[in-house]
Amino acid sequence: MRRIEAGSYYSYLPEGCKLCRKGAKLVLFVTGLCNNRCFYCPVSHAKFGKDVTYANEREVKSVRDFFEEAEMMEAEGVAITGGEPLLKLERVAKFVDIAKKFDMHIHLYTSLPAGEEKLKKLSGVDEIRFHPPELRNPDAYIEPIKAAKKLGIDAGFEIPAIRFERRIVEIVNELDAFLNVNQLEVSERNWENIVGKGYKVKDYYVENQEVVRAYEEAEKFHYCSARFKDVAQFRRRLIRMAMNHPDFYAITRDGTVICCRIEGDLDLAERVLNEWRVEYVRFDDCIETSPEIDIVIREALKSEGLKLSLVERYPTSNRIVIEVTEI
Ligand code: SF4
């Protein structure tokens, strides 16, 4: 087994996971619709059961939103997920076509035991990860895994470490498929269910190492810890996004950005900044400029009644603020 960051390890790392590790995979949440009710479902109340599409944190209302997000993080691949993405097969096929034009690697998660006919409609998908809801009836995925492999798609299971299901190991070893086991993560959506079933929660995840070790019998095995997602995957994606911001933003080790935010009469603020030839970005609600803005310009802006603050925020499309200090 090869050990990587934050307790993750593998004997086989699917291509999609290699790109996730680099922070280079865009997560395309195709729809929040799903006919299952897994007790550990991590999809938020805001999205579950709703037919909404997101590219990372950005709501996708048109193909343009998808492109903007892909460009912002210089995506090298797409992870298609949901809800149950295959409930919106045409939508998935459309995004697969678009992503393929840009030579992106595509992996798809699904709980549906999709057969050859369905898979043929998704030509362009490179990798498919089947998730039997609550690990029930893994045999239903034998034919789909065979069909995917026949079509040249790398295939396997991706499951949360809720319990050991021997049949899953037997199937992957018989079919030369891979097995991804994820540490069970706790969110506001699933916390009550997980605690109610007696799982021991530490921070925001469940330690279930005995179960994980049992799955090591799979020949093509990969364990992904909850912390890995934060310290490797998410952090690296943030850094990629931050690097695509104008040079005046300061970038932290965590991939967040620091800038000076100006609020108030933005037309007026623009006039002052243009007069002083200061670089800035204008949003609907504010203007952002260098955190090292010259004190004279700062005072000129304040004297016009504008509010200035130093802001540390995520470089994501929703610009979530971490810290604000008025200056
Ligand atoms: S299949 Fe996935 S999206 Fe659907 S309920 Fe289960 S965990 Fe949630």
DSSP 152-199: T-EEEEEEESSS--HHHHHHHHHHT-EEEEEPPB--TTTHHHHHHTTP
Name the pLDDT band for 96 (thresholds 50, 70, 90).
Answer: very high
Pocket test for ligand 1, best of 33, 44, 45, 84 (most atoms within 8 A of CB): 84
Alpha helices (H) along the chain: 15-21, 63-72, 89-101, 116-120, 142-150, 166-175, 191-196, 209-215, 226-228, 235-243, 266-275, 295-303
pLDDT of the residue at 79: 98
pLDDT in tens, 274-303: 999 999 999 999 999 999 999 999 999 999
Tell whether ligand 1 has an atom less than 6 A from the beta carbon of residue 41. Answer: yes
Specify the residue with its C-alpha closest to ligand 1, atom 7: 41
- What per-residue confidence (pLDDT) applies to 263? 98
If you measure from the C-alpha of residue 207 to the centroid of ligand 1, how many angstroms do you get, rounded to a whole number? 21
Neighbours of 103 (CB within 10 A): 8
Question: Is pLDDT at 230 greater than 90 in this prediction?
Answer: no
231-276 pLDDT tens trace: 889 999 999 999 999 999 999 999 999 999 999 999 999 999 999 9
Largest CA distance in the chain: 73
Q: Return d(Cα 315, Cα 311) in angstroms, integer.
A: 12
Contacts (Cβ under 8 Å, ≥6 apart) of 161: 181, 182, 183, 184, 206, 208, 211, 212, 215, 223
- Does 203 have pLDDT greater than 90? no
Taken in order of first residue, the domains within the chain and their CATH numbers are 2-241 (3.20.20.70), 246-326 (3.30.70)
Judge residue 73's burial from the number of C-beta atoms within 10 Å of its C-beta, 0-12 exposed, 13-18 middle, 19 or more buried.
buried
5 pLDDT band (50/70/90 cuts)?
Answer: confident
Report the separation in Å between the CA atom of 192 and the middle of ligand 1, taken as the mean of its atom positions: 16
Number of H helices, E strands in the chain: 12, 19
Please tell me the predicted confidence (pLDDT) of residue 305: 96
The answer, yes or no, to whether residue 229 has pLDDT greater than 90, is: no
187 lines ligand 1 (CB under 6 A): no
- Torsion from C-alpha of 133, 136, 138, 139, nearest 10 degrees: -130
Q: Cα(237)–Cα(20) distance, rounded to whole angstroms?
A: 9
CA of 187 to the centre of ligand 1 (A): 14
Atom of ligand 1 nearest to the CA of 48: 3
Tell how far the Cα of 47 is from the centroid of ligand 1, in angstroms: 12
- The answer, yes or no, to whether any atom of ligand 1 lies below 6 A from the CB of 83, is yes
How many C-beta neighbours within 10 Å does residue 12 have?
18
The DSSP 8-state label assigned to residue 134 in this structure reads G
User: Tens digit of pLDDT for each residue in 119-158?
Assistant: 999 989 999 999 999 999 999 999 999 999 999 999 999 9
* φ/ψ of residue 222, rounded to 5: -145, 125
Rounded CA-CA distance 45/176 in Å is 37
Does residue 109 carry a pLDDT above 90?
yes
Which pairing describes strands 105-110 and 77-81: parallel, antiparallel, or unpaired? parallel
Contact status, residue 306 vs residue 265, Cβ threshold 8 Å: yes
Ligand 1 site, residue 72, Cβ cutoff 6 A = no
- Which ligand 1 atom minimizes the distance to the CA of 82? 3
Q: What share of the chain is helix, strand, coil (3-state, %, to 5)?
A: 35, 25, 40
Distance CA 80, CA 143 (A): 21
Mean pLDDT of the chain: 96
Best residue for ligand 1 mutational test, from 111, 134, 157 (most atoms within 8 Å of Cβ) = 111
**How far, in Å, is the centroid of ligand 1 from the Cα of 304?**
52
pLDDT tens by residue, 41-70: 999 999 999 999 999 999 999 999 999 999
CA nearest ligand 1 atom 3, residue: 83
| 241 SS3 class | helix
The finding on whether 133 has its CB within 6 A of some atom of ligand 1 is yes
Residue 313, token pair as written in the block:
């925020």
